Amino acid sequence: MLATAGMNGELTDVVFDGDRISMGVANTDFTRMKIKAAAIEASARNDYASNMICIMHSDGYKVAPLASDELANCVGKELRKEAREIVWEQTLDLHLNIETPNESEREAILKKRALTLEEQAKLVRWDIEHELKLPVNEDNLKFYFDGARDKVRRYETMLLDEITARRFDREESAINFTYAFRQAGQWQYFTATAMTREQADEAFQAKHPGITEYKVKSTPAVEVGMRGFYGLKSTVLRQYFIDCGIDPETMTGEATQARLAYARDKLMTAERRDLLNNVLRIGGFMTPKGKPKVPEALFKTICESLGLKTDKRRARDGDKRPTIRFVDQQSAAFMMEILENRKDDGLSLQLRKAEKATTEVDHGLDLNIYMDHKTRSTNGQDLDAPHSVITEALAELPVPVPEAWAMTALSDDELATMTSWSPASIAMTFASLYLTEFMDRLSSNELRRLREYITGTVTGGYDAQEAFYG
């Protein structure tokens, strides 16, 4: 695809970032067709074994299991089971009989390129004692190897308040702008973290007011695939448990089969499929033609992803006495104890400090292609009334954004700083914040229009061949 784009002159952007090269191609029908074909091919490879058997059978081949000895199959299964038990006993013995390293020893181990089993066991013990705040025993080792750190982080994300989650999302959606300029015959570098180029330019001019010739390189503060999407995850998880009839703060309450089915249907919609598979990643993978998830199984899966166990009982009233499910309170107390201990030691997500808005760096920018230092906005108008500036900026957005929400989305200091920005810069900031916070509530058309506005692309035609990143 890149070769074809090169021959047709459709390569739009090339960025060298250390040992990584990012290339953009024009957003054409051919490009989208190639990407769709690659996705279909990848889907076929994922189910290669079943497809191959069906193809061979349709071609007239006689397909039969290779292992025909049932007794040998049973013996093999028992041997594999025994082998797993032996390996677990060895793993347990290793982790229980080795000492936990101190901070300096851990740092030395992490610097090594290859680790022995003993060194890996030391790191595991350190994680259990210092991150999970638990003693090292058999039960806690099983909990750790079952994805304990991800479960704790997901639980903390669900319990985040709206303001804190919004702050984390703003920090991770920011962009690092690195300025390169010559001063006294030497190359100097300055990095500003901001939401838009205009904000970064203001920070640079405030620091170096006499510099007019410079080059700029922009990189995201956090890659999109590595972002937490805290506000979205917190809102979706909380709403799911509320729909089930369970308080997300205390995990008390009971879920009937009707409530579980309602919560599943509200969570797993066709519009949310990509969001569930690529961002939320809860409840298992959702396919376009797959059967709906069993409500009870989905509830158990989501609870297990938070480190919670579920239980059930028969209803006391009614003729059929349907099954009612609830969260085991011992597991909820266990997780809350971990979260409280982490909070006391300053490890909780809620206690994460905000990063600095502007920092200076002294590293080189070799093998980088810079953008022109001209600002994106051509409107340099400054208005004194912040309310009128925000009103004018919101009017430029392709979807209606409530002004009441915009006035509360940022702090008073941030709103005061915004008065010196251009309407285009303000509109871009609110578009990004609105998309991040309400991604799960917007229609597919609204999502598409907001993404096109933020990225500057328009889908569906050769007249808009803007940069497109696969």
Q: What confidence tens digit (pLDDT) does each residue in 30-71 have?
A: 777 877 887 788 777 777 888 888 889 899 998 887 777 888
Contact 307, 331 (CB under 8 A): yes
Across 122-126, 188-192, 368-372, least confident range: 368-372
pLDDT at 263 over 70: yes
Residues 18 and 81 in one domain: no
Residues 20 and 77 in one domain: no
The pLDDT assigned to 459 comes to: 44
In the chain, the percentage of residues whose pLDDT exceeds 70 is: 82
Q: Answer yes or no: is 318 within a domain.
A: yes
pLDDT at 362 over 70: no
The pLDDT assigned to 421 comes to: 81
CA dist 255 and 3 (Å) reads 55
Report, as an integer, the average pLDDT of 78-98.
95
CA dist 430 and 228 (Å) reads 19
Q: Give the total residue count for the chain.
A: 470
**pLDDT band at residue 467, thresholds of 50, 70 and 90?**
very low
The pLDDT assigned to 196 comes to: 87
pLDDT at 274 over 60: yes
| Of 303, 180, 325, 174, the residue nearest 248 (C-alpha) | 303
**pLDDT band at residue 245, thresholds of 50, 70 and 90?**
very high
Residues 9 and 105 in one domain: no
pLDDT at 458 over 80: no
User: pLDDT tens digits for 392-435?
Assistant: 788 888 888 888 788 877 777 777 777 778 788 888 888 888 88
Residues 95 and 32 in one domain: no
Q: Answer yes or no: is 449 within a domain.
A: no
Handedness of CA 134, 138, 143, 145 (dihedral sign): positive
The pLDDT assigned to 387 comes to: 55
**pLDDT band at residue 23, thresholds of 50, 70 and 90?**
low
Q: Answer yes or no: is 158 within a domain.
A: no
The pLDDT assigned to 319 comes to: 58
Contact 181, 211 (CB under 8 A): yes
Higher pLDDT, 137 or 163: 137
Report, as an integer, the average pLDDT of 222-243.
90
Residue at which a domain ends, from 128, 146, 164: 146
pLDDT at 443 over 60: yes
Residues 243 and 298 in one domain: yes
Q: Answer yes or no: is 113 within a domain.
A: yes
Q: Answer yes or no: is 416 within a domain.
A: no
The pLDDT assigned to 155 comes to: 96
User: pLDDT tens digits for 172-218?
Assistant: 888 999 999 988 888 888 999 888 889 899 999 998 888 888 999 88
Residues 339 and 234 in one domain: yes
Residues 18 and 111 in one domain: no
Give the domain range for residue 294: 230-345
Cα-to-chain-centroid distance, residue 150? 12
pLDDT at 463 over 50: no
State pTM to two decimals: 0.63
Burial class (CB in 10 A: 0-12, 13-18, 19+), 350: middle
Higher pLDDT, 412 or 85: 85
pLDDT at 350 over 60: yes
Residue at which a domain ends, from 297, 312, 345: 345
Contact 275, 267 (CB under 8 A): no
Report, as an integer, the average pLDDT of 116-137.
94
Q: Answer yes or no: is 251 within a domain.
A: yes
Residues 311 and 235 in one domain: yes
Higher pLDDT, 431 or 125: 125
The pLDDT assigned to 449 comes to: 81
**pLDDT band at residue 367, thresholds of 50, 70 and 90?**
very low
Domain count, the chain: 3
Handedness of CA 115, 119, 120, 124 (dihedral sign): negative
pLDDT at 379 over 60: no
Q: Answer yes or no: is 204 within a domain.
A: no
Residues 6+ apart with CB under 8 A from 198: 375, 376, 377, 421, 422, 425
CA dist 339 and 132 (Å) reads 8
Residues 116 and 33 in one domain: no
Residue at which a domain ends, from 146, 165, 180: 146
Q: Answer yes or no: is 389 within a domain.
A: no
Name the average pLDDT for the chain.
Answer: 81
